Amino acid sequence: MSRHFLSGAELDRATLGRLLERAQELKAAPARSHALAEKAIALIFERPSTRTRVSFEVGIVELGGHPVVLRADELQLARGESVRDTALVLSRQVAAIGLRSGSDQALAELAQHASVPVFNMLTPREHPCQALADLLTIKEACGRLEGLRLAYVGDATNVARSLVRLGVLAGMEVALASPPGFALSPDEARGLAEQMRAGAGCGRLVEVALHSDPRAAAAGANVLYTDVWVSMGDEESAAARRRALEPYRIDDALLDLGADGAFALHCLPAHPGEEITAEVLYGERQRIWEQAENRRHAQKALLEWLLEAW
């Protein structure tokens, strides 16, 4: 059976560690791998993309492969062809398939019927490729992951869910602060952590801490993380979302509550003055632009792993 990367639950701690090590090696020497030589990778985009599309396209080229970028309106999917049939056809043409979709079910169905690896480039519930790049960025900055405290503040999006999964797997303490209606439920947070327990290689995992006060999550944190307040599809409720999330902005005062050297991360696109101040976004207390670059390096390591190049 092919390896897939749909949520991050496919990894154990040792594999996650090797992925991040390999990403650092590829970042230091971009031309050292030709794992995708004479291979094509399909990248299906049902949703707009900047970082995901560019990082995957460039990364595939750097690995010696050919990216086949497919928009939803360019495929017969737009005219009613099934996900199953699309998986069967593409599996005979390409070495792996990435999907950026508004449907988690479509991703699961694609993986079920494809005979090549399938990877998640974003769905409503998960964004594991982003979380890989986030952990790579934190590891570069701090030299380790285990025992660090990661505070996520704001709307608990797909990014927050993926950070819980992979952060817990890496041995990090993950704290989330969100207003009512925007938070992970205690049962879901606990379930995500428990799902990763078997792969963590230890009997006990640090619990995911849920807060309503962003200052409680930020206290002693090594990293403060946020996402947009108004995501794709949330435009009709934009005003209400901004009112509810106003206290959850990352600014210098919130960073001051963190550990010495605490820094901000943001998966982008950012809206300065909403979820993060311009002073933090463009200042010295962030690693956001390295984080954006690291999408490419982490995903190159992921593609090698999916195709069993090491």
Q: Give the end-to-end CA distance of the chain in Å, rounded to a whole number.
A: 17
List the catalytic residue out of 100, 161, 296, 297.
100
Q: How many CB atoms lie within 10 A of CB 120?
A: 27
List the catalytic residue out of 267, 286, 287, 296.
267
Which H/E stretch holds residue 264?
A: strand 263-266
The DSSP output letter for 171 is T
Structure tokens belonging to residue 53: 């599309």
- Using CA atoms, how far apart are residues 274 and 82, in angstroms rounded to an integer? 40
List the catalytic residue out of 13, 51, 127, 296.
127
Is position 130 annotated as part of the catalytic site?
Answer: yes
- Using CA atoms, how far apart are residues 52 and 21, in angstroms rounded to an integer? 21
Is position 295 annotated as part of the catalytic site?
Answer: yes
Structure tokens belonging to residue 240: 């209400």
Structure tokens belonging to residue 41: 């990778």
- CB proximity list for 155: less than 8 A, separation 6 or greater: 178, 182, 227, 228, 229, 231, 241, 245
List the catalytic residue out of 129, 130, 165, 296.
130
Is position 84 annotated as part of the catalytic site?
Answer: no
- Using CA atoms, how far apart are residues 285 and 265, in angstroms rounded to an integer? 9
Is position 267 annotated as part of the catalytic site?
Answer: yes
Is position 112 annotated as part of the catalytic site?
Answer: no
List the catalytic residue out of 161, 266, 295, 296.
295
The DSSP output letter for 212 is S
Is position 24 annotated as part of the catalytic site?
Answer: no
List the catalytic residue out of 227, 241, 286, 296.
227
Q: Which residues are catalytic?
A: 100, 127, 130, 227, 267, 295
